[in-house]
Each structure stands twice: as structure tokens, then as C-alpha cells.
Amino acid sequence: MVIETVNENLCVNKLIAAKRDIIMVEGDMIVPDSKPDILSTICTSGVVCIYKKEVLDEKVRMDGNINTYIMYLADDTQDKVRGINTNLDFSEVISVPNSKEGMDSVIQTKLKSIECKVINERKVGIKATLEVDIKIYAKEEVEIVNNIQNAEGIQMLKEDLRVNSLIGMGENKIYTKDNISIDNIDNLAEILKTDISIVDKDIKVSYNKILAKAEARIKLMYLTEDNRVNSIDTKVPIVGFIDIPNVTEENICDLDYEIKNMIIKPNAPEEHSIYIELEMGVIAIVYEEKQINLIQDLYSPCENLEFNKKKITIITNKQTRREMKQIREKVEVEGIENKSIINVDVSPIIEKQENLSNRIVYTGTIEINFILSNQELQMEVRNSKIPFEYTVDGVEDTENVNSRLDIEVANQDFIIQDGGMVSSNIDLVMNNDMYQNNNMNIINEIQTNGEREAEDYGLILYIVKKGDTLWKIAKRFGSTVDDIVRTNGIEDENKINPGQKLFIPRYVKTGMSYA
């Protein structure tokens, strides 16, 4: 006989593969004829653009470029600071076992380092290191059994769970264009350095759409026609929609941004502005929190039951925590006396994560690169580091927690003091996404297959062994948890101890037990 069940659908965003890899990108650049020879380089920076990603069988392909800026000291009579810009193209195929063509992916690419070496006065070699974090997902529809309707006496082991069921995944492109104003006294000659980061991320849900809001923080250094170096730090809004059916305000949404293409160029000198155009890719994954009453196991004291049992991994307790961490430190910077700070790059780097009891502790370093100028307008770079620690408290079941910490630099201010010390004021926004992976049993296709062989006893004495539960004992002897609890006067059915003596009554269809 097939047993009638009450079922519920659950959509699992199954993580198929996760891989972190390092990509090395190298290339040479010839100094344009319009530029003077290179005496030495001052600093090199870059912005990573990924314009194409493709999940294939057992691999992932990425195509992109690094928009690279090299600031250098010109080999001429005036030793001027100059800049050159190039696109360092790359195409990389990364082996990812178990990935299949058409699967969904979230791929994050970070520029870990970039440097250049002067080959001769008209040629430089560029070497960049990219860190790529790849996650491959597959959508799996699962039907779970919540209850049984037509089978008298069947014992069910249930568990109440709050799970995060996948609603959908979508992506879109966002285009942003703007003109960034510079000082009216500055007639811009060329751009020396560019850094772009995505900050102030926000999400709004409206009419089956995800409204993605953020800002591109753009830091530029530029050279004026009268040979002065200046900098600007500004933000450009990023706003776009992603269509995902059935999304509501109560849902949990993950957003990931990436730069696909960028154009940065000076406008006419009399406009005192810089034109910027960004093509952004944004990916949204939306989850619904569901309360389910899941049958983990079942048996009948009277009949043999047959059913299929499948183990799946689900996401539970998904949450995002966002808070500000302030860094107030004095750091010693060699050779900074009598110099001016032109630009500062701040890079927080997580070096270690520890999942301890009820908390997660991150330790890392804030790498600080100062670009300095003396009274003769000569440029140089100095470096410093500030160690930091960040703790997330109140975390349940840290052994099974998956967490990702994304750090934004919200504000930064540096003041040179006497004795080569710099007062550093840095505000970091800590975005921590966490969830737990839980394994659960899915039971389906339940049916009876004849009567269970009757045990020849009315009441037996059993001594509890290590690892026993009342459920296991009742299932073994064809009794029920309720009957054992009632017969032995047990107050808490979840608390039994090895060596404890229990009387196990045999179950009968009348609902009575032998005492």
C-alpha cells in the first residue's frame, strides 16, 4: 500500500564547486613617442575589468584586462613626473572539477599586486597578480515529506527547521557616466593614477525587481600643465534593476558587483573635468526563509515500511551583519618629514579567520601606501602597516558556519606629525555574510510491505548504552517513545544516560502497552 503524504517543495542552491586560484598577468609596454624617456618608476596601479565569464565542463574561462597606470620620473632636464596608461589583456582557463556548462557562478577577482620594471628608457615590463574566488552553483528542486495522512500507528521523528530556499538568481549590466570636476585653476595635462572601489551598497525590493544601489569611489591623481600634481577623491552613483519573479521585501538578497569596462579621459582643458564611464555587472541571489517540519526518520511497530532516504545539504540561518570599525593609530613612516602627502592607498587584507566558540575572529593588516612630494615637487612612495582584529560575536554552531567578510574603506585621514609619525584615522565598513550548511534526510515514496514480525515479550528491561536515544530504542524493539516515557516516568525524553535501566513495553494497536 502506498502511504499518502503531505509534501512541500524546497529549492536548494547547491554549491557544486569552490576554488580560489592565482592568475599571473604579464606584458610589456612601449612608451608612446609623445612621452619622454623613463628614468625610474614611482608607482604602478591598476583596475581589473572582467568583460566575459563562462562556465564550461570541468573549467571556467575568464576574459578581461587590467587598466594600468604607471607614474614615472622622466629622463629630461627638468625631471618631471609623467604618466602612461595601458590595458593589460588576459584570457585564462581555470580547471574547476564538477562544473558543467550552463551552471551559475559567482566569481570575484581581486588585484593582489602590480609592479613594473624598466627594461630600457622606452620600454617597461608589467607583472600583476590576481586572486580569483570561484563558486559554482546548481539549482535543485527537492520535494520533502511533512506529514503522513493514512497510516495509523506510524512513528515519525520530526525536526523543526528554518531553511533558506532559493527563489532565483539574476544578473544585469549597469552603465554609469559622469564628469568629475577638478579645481578651476588646474589645466589637466594627464592622469597619473586611478583607483576604483564599490562602496555604500544597498538593496531595495519593488515589483518583482531588485533595485541595486551603490557608489563607485574614484580616486585620481593627475598632472597639470604647469607641472603640479593634484588628487581628487569622489563618488559616482550606481543604480540598476535586476528582474527576479516572486521576490518580496522579506527575502534575503546577496549582491556582487564587478567592473566590466571603463573609460577615463580628460575633457577639454577649459572644462576642468574628467569624463568617466563604467560598465558594471551585478549578480543577485535571492533566498526565502521557510519554516519546515521535516520527517527525519519513521517506522511502524506493526508493519514493515519501505521508503527512499536521501541526504541533502541546505542553507540555514543566513544573515548579513554590517558595522563600522574605527582605526586610530600613529604609524612611523621613514623619511616623511618636510614632505606633503599627495595620495594614500589603504588596503585591508584578511590573513586569518578563526571559528571559536560562539564567535568568529578575523586578524589582518591594513597596508598603507603614501605618495609624497617634497618642496621641489619630487615624488616618492613610502609604506606602512597597521595590524587589526575584528570579532563577530553571537554566532551559533561556528563549526558549520560559512562566512565572507567584505571590507570597505569609508573614510581616511592622515596627518604628518613630528618625528616621522603619521596620525592615521581610518573608518572601515565590515560587511559579513554568514550562513550554515546543514545536512538533512529527505524521505519519500513511503509504502508498507506486510506486517512486522511480532516480538514475543510484553515488557523487557534494557540498559542504556552510549549513543542511544529513546527514538533508536523504541524503533529497535517496536515500541514507541511515548510508551517508554510513560512507563518509566521520564520527564525529558532527550535526556537519558548510559547505564540507565528502562522498561520497554511492546506496542499494541489499541494504543495500550503491557506494563
Tens digits of per-residue pLDDT, 241-267? 999 999 988 899 999 999 999 999 999
Question: pLDDT per residue over 316-351, tens digit each?
Answer: 888 889 999 999 999 988 888 888 898 999 999 999
User: Phi, psi (5° rounding) for residue 186?
Assistant: -95, 120
445: left (phi over 0), alpha (psi -120 to 50) or beta: left
| Strand partners for 346 | 368
184: left (phi over 0), alpha (psi -120 to 50) or beta: alpha
- If asked whether residues 24 and 129 sit together in one domain, one would say yes
The answer to whether residues 432 and 401 touch, using CB atoms and an 8 Å cutoff, is no
**Measured between alpha carbons, how far is 360 from 391 in angstroms, rounded to an integer?**
6
Residues 41-62 as b or e (16 or more Cβ within 10 Å = b):
bbbbbbbbbbeebebeeeebeb
Contacts of 402 (CB under 8 A, 6+ apart): 434, 435, 436, 437
Whether 282 maps to a domain, the answer reads: no
Instruction: Look at the chain and report how many structural domains it folds into.
Output: 3
Query: Exposed, middle or buried: residue 91 (CB in 10 Å: 0-12, 13-18, 19+)?
Result: exposed
Domain final residue pick, 107, 139, 171: 139
How many Cβ atoms from other residues are within 10 Å of residue 476's Cβ?
12
**pLDDT for the residue numbered 508:** 66
For residue 333, the SS3 value is coil
**pLDDT for the residue numbered 455:** 60
Whether 254 maps to a domain, the answer reads: no
Question: pLDDT per residue over 403-429, tens digit each?
Answer: 889 999 999 999 998 888 999 999 999
Whether 255 maps to a domain, the answer reads: no
Residues 206-226 as b or e (16 or more Cβ within 10 Å = b):
eeebbebebbbbbbbbbbbee
- If asked whether residues 470 and 407 sit together in one domain, one would say no
Stretch 111-116: mean pLDDT: 92
pLDDT at 458 over 60: yes
DSSP string, 360-396: EEEEEEEEEEEEEE-TT--EEEEEEEEEEEEEEES-S
Domain final residue pick, 86, 116, 139: 139
Whether 209 maps to a domain, the answer reads: no
Higher pLDDT, 498 or 398: 498
**pLDDT for the residue numbered 357:** 86
- If asked whether residues 362 and 469 sit together in one domain, one would say no
Is the sign of the CA dihedral 254, 287, 98, 281 positive or negative? negative
Q: pLDDT band for position 67 (50/70/90)?
A: very high
Domain final residue pick, 95, 113, 139: 139
Whether 507 maps to a domain, the answer reads: yes
- If asked whether residues 504 and 422 sit together in one domain, one would say no
Residue 509: give its domain's CATH number. 3.10.350.10
Question: pLDDT per residue over 355-407, tens digit each?
Answer: 988 899 999 999 999 998 876 667 889 999 999 999 999 888 888 888 889 99
Higher pLDDT, 515 or 441: 441
Residue position matching grid coordinates 534575503? 252
**Measured between alpha carbons, how far is 50 from 91 in angstroms, rounded to an integer?**
10
**pLDDT for the residue numbered 1:** 59
- If asked whether residues 395 and 490 sit together in one domain, one would say no
- If asked whether residues 411 and 470 sit together in one domain, one would say no
Name the strand (E) or helix (H) holding 95.
Answer: strand 81-95
Whether 205 maps to a domain, the answer reads: no
Range of the domain at 25: 17-139
Cell numbers for 504? 520497554
**Measured between alpha carbons, how far is 99 from 336 in angstroms, rounded to an integer?**
51
Q: pLDDT band for position 456 (50/70/90)?
A: low
**pLDDT for the residue numbered 398:** 81
Question: pLDDT per residue over 165-204, tens digit each?
Answer: 999 999 999 999 999 999 999 999 999 999 999 999 999 9
Closest CA to 443 of 299, 301, 296: 296
**pLDDT for the residue numbered 133:** 94
Average per-residue pLDDT for the chain? 89
**pLDDT for the residue numbered 446:** 82
